[in-house]
Amino acid sequence: MTAHPVRTAHPFAGCPGVVPPYLLQRLASAPAERSARLDTAPSVAERTLALDAELRLRRDGVRAGSAGGSRGAVAGRLQRTVADAKGTQTLPGDVVRREGEPAVGDPAADESYDGLGVTYALFDEVYGWSSLDGRGLPLDATVHYGEQYDNAFWDGTRMVFGDGDGEVFTRFTVSLSVVAHELTHGFTQYTSQLEYAGQSGALNESISDVFGVLAEQRARNENAEDASWLVGEGLFLPDVQGTALRSMLRPGTAYDDDVLGRDPQPADMAGYIETTEDNGGVHLNSGIPNRAFAEAAVALRGPAWDRLGQVWFDTCTGGTLTPTADFAAFAAATVAAASERYGAGSDVHRAVVQGWTTVGLGQGLGQGLEQGGSDAPDEASRRT
């Protein structure tokens, strides 16, 4: 198996959360006539925004070094611990479940425990990568964080889940794609270390969406052409007019609600959003690389976590990306990774190029496609 470089964790290890700030801001500032059906959600959103800002300041500049981050690591061994913050903001909280112990009957604790295991299995069983750092990093989670906290985040060392406000959002452990999304921020922390701002930040978010959805699709045994490609499906409660936080295949269509507004994600570079908000639009413009992946996966058909997921994994762990890589650099890296593993002109290579072309980033990526697929490795070699 190819050896992949493992890096010390990036200084800015934590990310603000799976719910974008612009969505929380919309909820917090909703006019009374629009939010009449909501009793507590606007005030909860306001508290969540304040806490997220405080957490961001607290995490900014804090180095999660490899020694602390990999303490107790055993390569090839899944190690999970779930703690309960009991509505406080104190981490880690009281441990309620350890690896191998039976379910405790608390849906949040048991869902997070299962989600950690499903995400570990994706990286370990499909890509041969032990945990998030490739070295068996123990996976820790805290549930029931804060008072009706409307978010979930990776803080550089553990997963943290809120219970939601009970009107717009339910508990955040209910969505496997959310659990895996946030854990994948840890994977990026130890591999490509993409800076959380601008296009590199949007790629950071997109990679989390990609592997978050792949973990969920694999758990459901869904083929690419049959999957919903939704991130955070099940988080919205019934009164919300929406299906999820984001749609990878159709960015901009995940919700259209009188309180939350319409999903603002662009679907291609023609709609790219220049902004200083949201760390330069990291949750907004991530829709563009998201769609490139989803379009390529649907074109290939079959399990998206298999060949196409392998290409994205190779790109993230190959050591060629810089922390400030933009969309064009990442697109070129994925095309090179597809060509290296599956051959220039292979169906995977073609699908990757077409995916980026669909979102307006295909210029210069199609060189070598006319040679056909004669150089594609056979099934055995491409699995190594």
- One pLDDT digit (tens) per residue for the chain, 384 residues: 344 555 544 444 445 689 999 999 999 998 765 666 788 899 999 999 999 888 877 655 444 443 344 567 788 899 999 999 999 999 999 999 999 999 999 999 999 999 999 999 999 999 999 999 999 999 999 999 999 999 999 999 999 999 999 999 999 999 999 999 999 999 999 999 999 999 999 999 999 999 999 999 999 999 999 999 999 999 999 999 999 999 999 999 999 999 999 999 999 999 999 999 999 999 999 999 999 999 999 999 999 999 999 999 999 999 999 999 999 999 999 999 999 999 999 999 999 999 999 999 998 887 655 544 433 333 333 333
In angstroms, rounded to a whole number, what is the distance separating the alpha carbons of residues 139 and 352? 32
Cα 205–Cα 210–Cα 216 angle in degrees, nearest 5? 125
Of 23, 74, 75, 11, nearest to 52 by C-alpha is 23
pTM of the entire structure? Answer: 0.90
In angstroms, rounded to a whole number, what is the distance separating the alpha carbons of residues 27 and 34? 10
Check residue 340 and give its pLDDT.
Answer: 96
Residue pointed to by tokens 């496609």: 369
Two structure tokens written together for 165: 């406000």
Residue 282 has phi, psi (to 5 degrees) of -65, -35
In angstroms, rounded to a whole number, what is the distance separating the alpha carbons of residues 139 and 186? 10
Two structure tokens written together for 299: 């074109």
Q: How many C-beta neighbours within 10 Å does residue 361 have?
A: 22
Burial 218-232 (b: 16+ CB within 10 A, else e): bbeebbbeebbbbbb
In angstroms, rounded to a whole number, what is the distance separating the alpha carbons of residues 232 and 243? 8
Check residue 13 and give its pLDDT.
Answer: 44
- 182 an active-site residue? yes
Report the chain's mean pLDDT, rounded to a whole number: 89
Check residue 73 and give its pLDDT.
Answer: 76
Query: Could you tell me which residues are beta bridge partners of residue 56?
Result: none
Question: Is the dihedral angle over the CA atoms 86, 89, 93, 97 positive or is it negative?
Answer: positive
Check residue 72 and give its pLDDT.
Answer: 74
In angstroms, rounded to a whole number, what is the distance separating the alpha carbons of residues 53 and 97? 30
Per-residue HEC secondary structure of 283-303 comes to CCCCHHHHHHHHHHHHHHCCC
Check residue 9 and give its pLDDT.
Answer: 46
CB 359 within 8 A of CB 296: no
From the candidates 182, 195, 205, 295, give the one annotated as an active-site residue. Answer: 182
CB 252 within 8 A of CB 287: yes
Check residue 368 and give its pLDDT.
Answer: 53
From the candidates 181, 185, 283, 349, give the one annotated as an active-site residue. Answer: 283
- 299: Cβ contacts below 8 Å, ≥ 6 apart: 351, 354, 355
| Count of alpha carbons within 13 angstroms of residue 252, beta-carbon side | 11
